[in-house]
C-alpha cells in the first residue's frame, strides 16, 4: 500500500517543496502588503500588525498581545507606548485589574487600519488573479486539510 508521502511525490513535488512554496508566497505577500507604507501612514510592519490586533480585539490588553504574538513583554510595551504617544492607541482602565488597561484604536488609527485592509484586499486580489472561483475554493480546501494535519489533535 502506498504511503501518503509517496502520493505527494507522485503529484509533482515533495512536502518540503510545498512548504517552501508557501513560505515564499507569504514573503512576497507580506512584502507587497506591508511594504506599502504610504497606505499605512508610514508605519513599520510590527506597528501595522499591532493596530490590526487591536482592531480585531478592541479592549484587549498588552498581556493579550504578548500571548497572541509570542513577543517579549518589553518589546510589546515599547511598541504600545510608541503607538499611544503618536495618538494611535487609547487606553482605558481595566475594570477588573487596576494594573492593566484596555486598548483601542483612536479614530486616526481606525482610518489607517481601513487603508491597510484595503491594501490587503488589493494584494489578495492580485495574488489570485487568473484563478477561477472553483480553483480558489479547491486551494482553500487543500490548505484546510494541511492545517488539520498539523493541528495538535491530528496525531
pLDDT, tens digit, 9 for 90 and up, residues 21-58 = 999 998 888 888 766 655 566 788 889 889 999 999 99
Residues 84/108, Cβ–Cβ less than 8 Å: no
Look over the chain and give the mean of its residue pLDDT values, rounded to a whole number.
Answer: 86
pTM: 0.70
Query: 62 Cβ partners below 8 Å, 6+ apart?
Result: 73, 76, 77, 80, 100, 101, 103
Amino acid 101: pLDDT: 92
What DSSP character marks residue 96? S
Burial category of 147 from C-beta neighbours within 10 Å (exposed 0-12, middle 13-18, buried 19 and up): exposed
Amino acid 31: pLDDT: 81
Residues 73/58, Cβ–Cβ less than 8 Å: no
Amino acid at each position: 500500500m502506498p504511503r501518503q508521502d509517496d502520493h505527494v511525490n507522485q503529484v509533482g513535488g515533495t512536502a518540503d517543496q510545498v512548504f517552501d512554496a508557501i513560505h515564499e508566497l507569504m514573503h512576497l505577500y507580506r512584502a507587497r502588503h506591508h511594504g506599502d507604507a504610504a497606505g499605512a501612514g508610514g508605519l513599520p510592519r510590527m506597528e501595522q500588525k499591532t493596530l490590526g490586533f487591536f482592531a480585531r480585539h478592541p479592549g484587549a490588553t498588552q498581556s493579550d498581545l504578548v500571548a497572541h504574538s509570542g513577543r517579549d513583554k518589553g518589546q510589546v510595551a515599547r511598541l504600545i507606548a510608541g503607538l499611544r504617544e503618536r495618538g494611535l492607541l487609547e487606553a482605558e482602565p481595566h475594570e477588573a485589574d487596576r494594573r492593566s488597561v484596555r486598548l483601542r484604536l483612536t479614530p486616526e488609527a481606525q482610518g489607517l487600519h481601513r487603508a491597510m485592509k484595503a491594501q490587503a484586499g488589493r494584494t489578495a486580489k492580485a495574488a489570485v488573479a487568473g484563478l477561477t472561483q472553483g480553483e480558489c475554493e479547491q486551494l482553500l480546501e487543500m490548505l484546510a486539510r494541511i492545517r488539520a494535519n498539523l493541528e495538535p489533535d491530528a496525531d
